[in-house]
Structure 1
């Protein structure tokens, strides 16, 4: 499994917009991209303007398919207007996973 964690800093007046857009991307990706396994939208417990996306894909190719797809493009077309990021915090393959071999 290929997994990563990214962060976004969102302007306060657009927090709800970011959550809506990210959750829509999560729903659409999980429903329509066979290699998408998990897509979590997480709010930071100390900074209300900081959000994390924790995503899991079958492998790097599945992530690349997601990144080249319509849901990714729609998300960045909207969120890019009011959010800074992504800042890559972690990415890689789960140890011992066959997809990492």
Structure 2
């Protein structure tokens, strides 16, 4: 029996639920990268980055390409970059709304 779509979506978003994975996907939204290029940008240990990349590979969000001894990672779909962009827009709206509320609270002397 297949799982409901909402459950698959929840699992998909759980995969995105780690800051290092989000940062990796942001980097790969720009262009493909090898691990050595990502390490200083992500700021975690090499073994931990490898684990996070493996999670993203298993989820089908990234693919690899080997050039000599170097492995390059890339997004499987430009939709991943679009999703990150939309998430940024949503967060901007939410934070903007919170900033307005905070201004209103400071303006009200009661």
Whether these two folds match at TM > 0.5 is: no
Larger Rg: 2
Considering Cα pairs closer than 8 Å and 6+ residues apart, tell me whether 1 or 2 has the greater RCO: 1
Q: Please state which structure has a larger fraction of its residues in strand.
A: 1
- TM-score normalised by the chain length of structure 1: 0.31
- TM-score between both structures, scaled by the size of structure 2: 0.29
